[in-house]
Structure 1
Amino acid sequence: MKSFLHEIIEKLISEGIDFQNSVFILPNKRAGLFLKQALSKQLKQTLFSPEIISSQEFVTNLSELKELNNIDVLFKFYETYCEITSSEQTESFDQFSSWAQILINDFIELDRYLIDPNKIFDYLSAIKEIDHWSVEPNKTEHVKNYLQFWNHLKTYYTHFNHKLTSEGVGHQGLQYREAVNNIENYIENNNKQHFFIGFNALNKAEEIIIQELLSQNLAKVFWDIDIHFLDNNHHDAGFFVRKYKEKWPYFRTHLFEIVSNNFRNNKNIQVIGAIKTVGQVKQIGALLKDLYTNNATNLENTAVVLGDEQQLLPLLNSLPTEIEHINITMGLPLKSVPLSSFFELLFNLHKSNNEKYYYKDVIAILNHSSLKPIYSKIQAVEIENFIQYISKNNLSYFDYDVISKHIATAAKIIDALFCSWENNPVLALKNCRNMVLEIQTVLNKNSSAHLVELSFLYKFYTIFNKLIGLQEQFSFINSIQILFGLYKELLNIESVDFKGEPLKGLQIMGVLESRLLDFETVIISGVNEGVLPAGKQHNSFIPFDVKLENLLPTFKEKDAIYTYHFYRLLQRAKNIYIIYNTDPDVLSGGEPSRFIKQLEIDGIHHLTHSLSIPNAQIKAVELKSVSKTATLLDDLKDLAIKGFSPSSLSSYVRNPIDFYYSKVLNINEYDEVEETIAANTLGNVLHKTLEEMYKPYVGEILEEKHIKTMFKSIDGIVAKHFKTYFYDGNFTSGKNLISFEVAKRYIYNFLQRELEQIKAGRIIVIKELEKPIQVTLDIPELGFPIHLKGVIDRIDTVDNDWRIIDYKSGKVNQSEVEIVNWEDLTSDYKKYSKSFQLLTYAYMLHQTNVIQLPVNAGIISFKNLQDNFVLNFSKKNKAGNGAVKDPKITTETLDAYFEVLKNLILEIFNPEIDFTEKIIE
């Protein structure tokens, strides 16, 4: 394969040009290295290298203005804005920056395309005036300010450009405008031959500059275009070059160079669908391994082109270990580096300057991967203990003192992280830089293993130094919020550059870095709509129709740029692998790119389609099972002596493996901080509130006056128990306030129903509240004692009939406390666990002679008090609507229940029956 650059050098050598008196202008610096390589391989004599520069360097020299980076341009614009805006209307820098960057981009566009600013801005002002036309004679203050902004755009532009030129600096657009103004003077003082190589989409300024040099016979232009795209008036890959060929006067009398005919050559094109970013980079890794192993192609003539720059880090982790030489020409965006998220967390913690920190923010910082290497073992233990302390004490918010007290051995780190920044940018930058140095000190101890991390750290160190310089120079950087905005701006424009041998090994690059470069094997990833091409984006104050009218680029032109670069990669390549994301995702490309469909419709090449399916082995679900060893049976005996509760027995019915973990091994779920009041907390509050209210009247006949007294104490008692169970949690606002009000309403509704019962003439006597109870079961088959234990919410008599009550804060239906078959008690946890609990309580109370049979047992569900105050347990003689219910628990009822209970306990202790996991639907 003969590359485009080699074709050019061959042609120029054959024409006998004076290389030492020539200037080669290329779209980017990267291509200059490959041009020098082509020169060295084809020139036979020794000579001084010609001047090889990028188009931006050429324009900078021509304009005689020093180029400013985006941040410096933003600051210069803010200075201009403050100078011409009254102090009463001047926005703070963070407000200003939210719209200024868009406006600056518009200024750059206008200058690059040499548009008369007066025409554009006067037109925009008139449009906005019409948009806000009103029958009201007087405009509102809001409308006045809005229109004033549009009227000031021309003033902003004029003053801004004047300020920059007077200081000898400029943004890219201003450089182009000044370059056009200086081109005549440049031609008069320069006799070198200029070669413009491989350009495609030129702005108006570039067109004029090149045409002026062409007209004076000081330049030649070599287009990297294929005849297939040039002759097809509907193909966007030739959109720009066709226009230049047709409209530039120079090409009416001169040859159009160089037009190749490589696209129709035989090509192996494979289109591969893969899942998400991971699937794509894994597929690239597999392709590279095959290419390397089979020696099917030379990896030095292979390029991986990433349509999405976010794929770079995952790709580096997916490359085959056999590949020794890799050259990465694209920079890794600094915002993709893990360390960027750490500092973003830190800024978010401090920007509001609160005295107390939100627990999730603190934990996210302490657990961040960037900090893990710097913790000693003791510090790591302290941090883990502190996180458990937060959960145990339900701390949603706490101050610096709480953190420093519990993590005493890492005082220096904790000070830098959590000591208040006092809304002071100087202090903030000092702490951030100290954190960089602290991490660097630890990583330097084993620098060979942390080369990549150290390069990231160095980049962040330079960023914070840059911010320190800006803060010292500009007084308006006076808050953490403004500083944070600048930090994010710098992250967006900075990248980490990788060092490597540029002409050796596998090439990994972005789409724009591939300009002028040709490879035999090309792997292109991210070929999805919204990625390649990027899709319709309009970050501009200039409306679409105004852009069309003034020949400014729109998404149509940007699509054509992507189309050209995509097809240019394919022109000379022999093996092409096009990889796209098969998983629809609106944010990062939802469907295969139109380029794939266009290749199919062209019909020139056969495309092989395939899907990359992860090599994942699907294993049958293996239910966990634990056999009952002699040691385990001894543990069960100890548990039996301590006592089984109805809930523990129900947990066995629900899932034996959960019973094993929680009751035998005593492994409980991790406690989390309750930001919003959990159901169990609400249940505890309701239980304790009713216990405290009713306790003074135990043993007495309830009267109306008792209930009315309770009504008055609802607020205070509920609040008291919320403070007890919700620890330091706040329940004065938001969802927690709603839960607090719900709890009060539940208690009010409960008392109201109780009062209705009393008014109806029912004689209610409270016998016991929150009564703990324990009994011993007689099971001869086991030969050791089995204890049952529990706490019964309420025992009372109604008209001299005994009743057992259990409170539930959730919703319970009547069907959940009715049974037909006794064996159902231990087979259907979801439906019969509440019946099992009531029967267990009745059995224990009867065994201890606390109650007399027959007795009623029921549930009071706070969520459906309006249906039935008490949902009574009942035994039905058959299923269906014709069933006869028996609500009384008698001796026969408890005898039948005991048989079920006995069988359940025998099963638990049966060494032949393992603790086997159940699949819970």
Structure 2
Amino acid sequence: MECSFLSLVAKDLLSRYDDTIADFRFVFPNSRTRIFFLDELTRLLSRPLWQPHFCSVDDLFCSISGLQHAERLVSVVELYKCYSNYHKEDFSSFYFWGEMLLSDFDSNDKHLIDAEALFTNLNDLKTIDARLSYLTSEQIAIIKRFWSSFVDKAALSNEKREFLNIWQTLYSIYCEFGKALSGKGLAYTGQMQRRAVEIIRDGGGLDSNGTHYVVVGFNALAETEKELFKYLKRNFEVDFYWDYDPYFRDDVHQEAGLFVRENLSLFPVPEGFDPGDNFRKSKNITAVAAASNSLQCKYVGSVLKHLADRGSALDKRTAIVLADENLLVPLLYSLPDKVEKSNITMGYPLRQSLAYSFTDRLLNLQKRVRRSSEGAVSFYHSDVTGILTHPFMLSAQAADADTLYKKVISNGRIYVEGSLLKEYGGLIDNIFTPCDTPAELTAYICRILSSLDESIVIDVADEADRRQAMLQREYFVRIIETLGRLHRSLSGCGVEIDNVTYSTLIRRLLQSQSVPFEGEPLEGLQIMGVLETRNLDFDNVIILSMNDDMFPGTRSASSSFIPHNLRFAYGMPTREYQEGVYAYYFYRLISRAQRVEMVYCSSSDDGSTGEQSRFIYQLDYESPHKVTHRELSVDVTMAQGSEVQIEKDEMVMARLSEYLSGGKRRLSPSSFNVLLECPMKFYLHYVAGIARREEISEEIDTPMFGTILHDAMQTLYTPFIGIHNPSAAIAAITPKEIDAAIEDAVRKNLLGGVSGVTAAEFTGQVQMSCEAVHKYIKNNILPYDAAQCGFTISLLEQPVSAEFEFECGGKPLSVRFGGKMDRMDILDGGMLKIIDYKSGANHLEFKGLADLFSDMPEKWSGAVVQTMLYSLMVSRMQKAGKVVGDDVCPALYYVKQMHQTNYCDLLKDLLQGVRVERYSDYREELEDYIAQRLAQLFDATIPFRQREDATNVCPSCEYRHICNR
């Protein structure tokens, strides 16, 4: 870069005015322009000079109008009070569209639109020509077309009626709102600017004290700003400097020059000043399509490393521009070590901080607090556990938080009693205190955050830790200040809201906040948003999220109550206006750059449309530059890395030995199933003990569904144990009895055994699941059993176990199988029928035992293996005289299919084409296969390996991230 725009301005001023510029008053569009201008000015000076005076456009408008800026929240509240005089709506419903209406009023005033004409119903088409004679014929035609659809009131849709109902009151609301604010000496930005223009037109203005103004680097001017600059031009010495390039200044079709051409006409630059023909100079321009947002950030790291390796200093001459500020955090993690200093101008989004997430959890906790008729307080389980596991709790009161978490989990209650949470004191006691009003909620959050703030240690040796601690403290301060300001604003305006609405407002305000980073703006790599790039020039420019929906994007023009055609007709900003603004930002930014990297997300499922920006297309087809296109993709197919395996060392063998006779563990049918499915999964779960963290569920998942079904059936059938042929009694079971059994099962398994909770108090998901269980019992299981004869229910939910001997390396070993059998019937003739309830899909069929025990079975059915193992245990108990019977018959009750007329509960061996009626027919072969698998399990030379076929089991396995599958 030969010379930046701000350097050219400084040179021109010094050449014309020398050190008298110290008395000038400079007007810049933002503070960053001021900082960089001073830097350029300092470089050019050969002797000390008093710093010139600086002000903003808002400062000038404020001085002329005599009004002060009203906080946006105060403005919305005052607007609500005026709106309520015409329409009844609660504040929570009004707030968000009230912000939109405030923006419309603001835009209306900034562009000096006749509010009475705009907000008046002009469906009397004859009056339009007379009332809007100051508009062009094209504008009047557009307005007529719009209001013509409202002429026939009887044919209006409900939406149009509602629109018209509000529209007809907007002018009155607008006037009352303006008076309410100005009566307090306040104004929103547009109102202040309009009032200043009115004063100027009436002959007022700024003190004429010979001030020389310098206006630098503006682009899209509102009508009020044009009037202000005209006033300065008439009454003061003033120089205007615009940054433009002939490429977009001279081409009337180039949207980037939309405002430049008018600005130069109204406010010419000083004679001889020329920003230069920079855009057409040679540049290295690259457009990069990245498969994801994270890949965009990683690419930046590689570009910076490449620049550093080539000897380029990663300083203020290099800028990373984020069209999407959500990429700031992942970008920071992607910066290479070669970046020694960086300056982040956009601030860290508060909503991405731990302080915000903790505040959000506190709000959720208070939102769902319950009070019983006796006044007892309880809190929703996920809110409680979410707070107890938050990093702040793990550092502030870790031991108590962990103990309480385990107690809450073991309690198993959906709602946790407040008394359980009040035993620990300190921060925990403060947190689990209910709040009834916004005032209490404000004090509650501020008290907790202040307590956390006091625990932060700032005086630490490590600089990174110190900065992190300072940043954390700044988050707390920002949240506390925001809550205080919100509460004072609402209290001062006399608007009463509930805690739910108040919580929504808190989130809304906090989500828009950012906390500035420490850093020197003139040093290091520059990381900024699009707006911060105004008037700044860089050698290297890297733009992220260069997607069309981000740059230029869809911005404020779409968030308006004023229809697009009326906005266009009255000269208010439209989508085309916004596109012109961002086109200028883009082309001006890259004009003096030597290297430009434009990176966009090519995926349509990563918060983007996947479409590159129109500006990239324009560079391709309209500019003199050749754009190099690259694609960054990732291999979305599963990587076939080296096999994961675990050797059986002494520690592993010691854990396995616990399953042997005399050990403390039993091998259940379900765990043996896991061994057959995947030895690695067996190791991770049963040997290494890596289990998913236990959680409380308010819904009934598949395992819980089966548990409730089993317990309900146990309750219903327990009275019939030992009764021969209970078919008639089963048929007589009533729906009310079924419901009672299901409710008891839910209370026992889902609510921690709490009494007094009826089905009506269950969550919607639980009620739906209960209805499904009821249907399966009433329509499937009971009719099926009632149609049987010649059986006696012998055992329900009965623990069973048996020793199993096998050889491993020539050494005799024995394991103990054990589990809880769902049900055992004794059939006439002495056959013992082992029944296993299943709530999933029907898997009664198998292709012989050899297939079940192979590494890649054609017809896998864990249910068949499981019921066969129960049959094995009962058979051995029968031989030992612990149960009396002839033989064993394994059976599966697939409760979803039992209503089918051809349903049979017996296993089906497809290899032999027969139903399995007697376990003894398979006993010898089954025991051989089991012995082989157990021998492999206890063989220290055979490591635990992944299953060969990853297709069926791995996608739903909770350990797939460990195996890289």
TM tier, shorter chain?
0.7 to 0.9
Structure 1 partner of 2:220: 201
Going from structure 1 to structure 2, the CA distance change for 1:770 and 1:623 (only over 3 Å counts) comes to same
Look up the SS of the partner of 1:524 in the other structure: strand
CA distance in 2: counterparts of 1:29 and 1:777, whole angstroms: 81
Structure 1 partner of 2:130: none
Structure 2 partner of 1:512: 531
Structure 2 partner of 1:804: 833
Q: Does residue 115 of structure 2 align to residue 117 of structure 1?
A: yes
Shift of 1:463: 1.9
Look up the SS of the partner of 1:866 in the other structure: coil
Structure 2 partner of 1:678: 701
Q: Does residue 563 of structure 2 align to residue 543 of structure 1?
A: yes
Residues 400 and 418 in structure 1, CA contact (< 8 A), matched pair in contact too: yes
Structure 2 partner of 1:902: 931
Structure 2 partner of 1:326: 342
Look up the SS of the partner of 2:839 in the other structure: coil
CA distance in 2: counterparts of 1:352 and 1:845, whole angstroms: 49
Stretch moving more, 535-544 or 190-199: 190-199
Look up the SS of the partner of 1:225 in the other structure: coil
Within the candidate set 420, 432, 454, 2:445 is matched to: 432
Within the candidate set 626, 632, 635, 2:658 is matched to: 635
Structure 2 partner of 1:745: 775
Residues 805 and 857 in structure 1, CA contact (< 8 A), matched pair in contact too: yes
Structure 1 partner of 2:597: 577
The aligned amino acid for 2:7 is H
The aligned amino acid for 1:150 is W
Structure 1 partner of 2:645: 624
Within the candidate set 799, 816, 828, 2:844 is matched to: 816
Q: How does 1:382-781 map to 2 (within 5 A)?
A: 382-405=400-423, 408=424, 411-422=425-436, 424-444=437-457, 446=459, 448=466, 450-535=469-554, 537-585=557-605, 587-588=607-608, 590-611=610-631, 620-627=641-648, 629=650, 631=654, 634-638=657-661, 644-664=667-687, 668-702=691-725, 705-711=728-734, 713-728=737-752, 731-732=759-760, 733=762, 734-748=764-778, 749-757=780-788, 762-777=789-804, 779=806
CA distance in 2: counterparts of 1:244 and 1:62, whole angstroms: 23
Residues 292 and 606 in structure 2, CA contact (< 8 A), matched pair in contact too: no
Structure 2 partner of 1:92: 90
Residues 844 and 892 in structure 2, CA contact (< 8 A), matched pair in contact too: no
Residues 547 and 554 in structure 1, CA contact (< 8 A), matched pair in contact too: yes
The superposition leaves residues 350-374 of structure 1 with CA deviations (integer Å, 9 ceiling, x where unpaired) of 245533322222222232334443x
Q: Does residue 296 of structure 2 align to residue 263 of structure 1?
A: no
Going from structure 1 to structure 2, the CA distance change for 1:185 and 1:418 (only over 3 Å counts) comes to same
TM-score of the two chains, using structure 2 as the length reference: 0.84
TM-score of the two chains, using structure 1 as the length reference: 0.88
Shift of 1:692: 4.2
CA distance in 2: counterparts of 1:641 and 1:353, whole angstroms: 43
Stretch moving more, 527-536 or 120-129: 120-129
Going from structure 1 to structure 2, the CA distance change for 1:633 and 1:788 (only over 3 Å counts) comes to closer
Shift of 1:129: 10
Structure 1 partner of 2:942: 913
Going from structure 1 to structure 2, the CA distance change for 1:698 and 1:741 (only over 3 Å counts) comes to same
CA distance in 2: counterparts of 1:216 and 1:234, whole angstroms: 35
Going from structure 1 to structure 2, the CA distance change for 1:600 and 1:143 (only over 3 Å counts) comes to closer
Structure 1 partner of 2:960: none
Residues 421 and 427 in structure 1, CA contact (< 8 A), matched pair in contact too: yes
Residues 838 and 894 in structure 2, CA contact (< 8 A), matched pair in contact too: yes
Coordinate RMSD, CA, aligned: 3.6
The aligned amino acid for 2:104 is D
Look up the SS of the partner of 1:224 in the other structure: coil
Q: How does 1:127-146 map to 2 (within 5 A)?
A: 131=150, 133-135=152-154
Shift of 1:275: 4.7
Q: Does residue 390 of structure 2 align to residue 368 of structure 1?
A: yes
Q: Does residue 13 of structure 2 align to residue 12 of structure 1?
A: yes
CA distance in 1: counterparts of 2:7 and 2:798, whole angstroms: 94
Structure 1 partner of 2:294: 278
Q: How does 1:748-897 map to 2 (within 5 A)?
A: 748=778, 749-757=780-788, 762-777=789-804, 779=806, 782-800=811-829, 802-811=831-840, 813=842, 816-820=844-848, 822=850, 824-825=852-853, 828=857, 831-847=860-876, 848-849=878-879, 850=883, 853=886, 856-867=889-900, 868-875=902-909, 878=912, 883=913, 885=914, 887-889=916-918, 891-897=920-926
The aligned amino acid for 2:860 is K
Residues 810 and 863 in structure 1, CA contact (< 8 A), matched pair in contact too: yes
The aligned amino acid for 1:362 is V
Look up the SS of the partner of 1:579 in the other structure: strand
The superposition leaves residues 632-661 of structure 1 with CA deviations (integer Å, 9 ceiling, x where unpaired) of 564342477965443343332222233344
CA distance in 1: counterparts of 2:782 and 2:107, whole angstroms: 73
Look up the SS of the partner of 1:207 in the other structure: helix
Going from structure 1 to structure 2, the CA distance change for 1:642 and 1:865 (only over 3 Å counts) comes to same
Look up the SS of the partner of 1:435 in the other structure: helix
CA distance in 2: counterparts of 1:365 and 1:125, whole angstroms: 57
The aligned amino acid for 1:364 is G
CA distance in 1: counterparts of 2:527 and 2:690, whole angstroms: 49
Structure 2 partner of 1:169: 186
Look up the SS of the partner of 2:240 in the other structure: strand
Going from structure 1 to structure 2, the CA distance change for 1:809 and 1:392 (only over 3 Å counts) comes to farther
Residues 795 and 802 in structure 1, CA contact (< 8 A), matched pair in contact too: no
CA distance in 2: counterparts of 1:433 and 1:804, whole angstroms: 65
Look up the SS of the partner of 2:391 in the other structure: coil
Residues 306 and 524 in structure 1, CA contact (< 8 A), matched pair in contact too: yes
Going from structure 1 to structure 2, the CA distance change for 1:682 and 1:829 (only over 3 Å counts) comes to farther
Look up the SS of the partner of 2:399 in the other structure: helix
The superposition leaves residues 114-158 of structure 1 with CA deviations (integer Å, 9 ceiling, x where unpaired) of 111111000478778965955499x99x99876443222111111
The aligned amino acid for 2:831 is W
Shift of 1:570: 1.3
Identity between Structure 1 and Structure 2 (%): 25
Going from structure 1 to structure 2, the CA distance change for 1:795 and 1:93 (only over 3 Å counts) comes to closer
CA distance in 2: counterparts of 1:217 and 1:778, whole angstroms: 105
Shift of 1:831: 2.6
The superposition leaves residues 786-810 of structure 1 with CA deviations (integer Å, 9 ceiling, x where unpaired) of 4444544444454536241313232
The aligned amino acid for 1:56 is D
CA distance in 2: counterparts of 1:803 and 1:52, whole angstroms: 96
Going from structure 1 to structure 2, the CA distance change for 1:132 and 1:619 (only over 3 Å counts) comes to farther
Shift of 1:342: 2.0
Structure 1 partner of 2:955: none
Residues 213 and 236 in structure 2, CA contact (< 8 A), matched pair in contact too: no
CA distance in 1: counterparts of 2:821 and 2:394, whole angstroms: 48
Look up the SS of the partner of 1:266 in the other structure: coil
Going from structure 1 to structure 2, the CA distance change for 1:9 and 1:708 (only over 3 Å counts) comes to closer
Matched residue count: 893
Going from structure 1 to structure 2, the CA distance change for 1:231 and 1:393 (only over 3 Å counts) comes to same
Going from structure 1 to structure 2, the CA distance change for 1:483 and 1:714 (only over 3 Å counts) comes to closer
CA distance in 2: counterparts of 1:444 and 1:673, whole angstroms: 35
CA distance in 1: counterparts of 2:571 and 2:484, whole angstroms: 42
The aligned amino acid for 1:386 is L
**Structure 2: where are the runs of 5+ without partners?**
125-145, 372-377, 461-465, 953-965
CA distance in 1: counterparts of 2:353 and 2:806, whole angstroms: 65
Residues 856 and 873 in structure 1, CA contact (< 8 A), matched pair in contact too: no
The aligned amino acid for 1:304 is I
Structure 1 partner of 2:143: none
Q: How does 1:182-197 map to 2 (within 5 A)?
A: 182-183=199-200, 184-186=203-205, 189-197=208-216
Shift of 1:703: 5.0
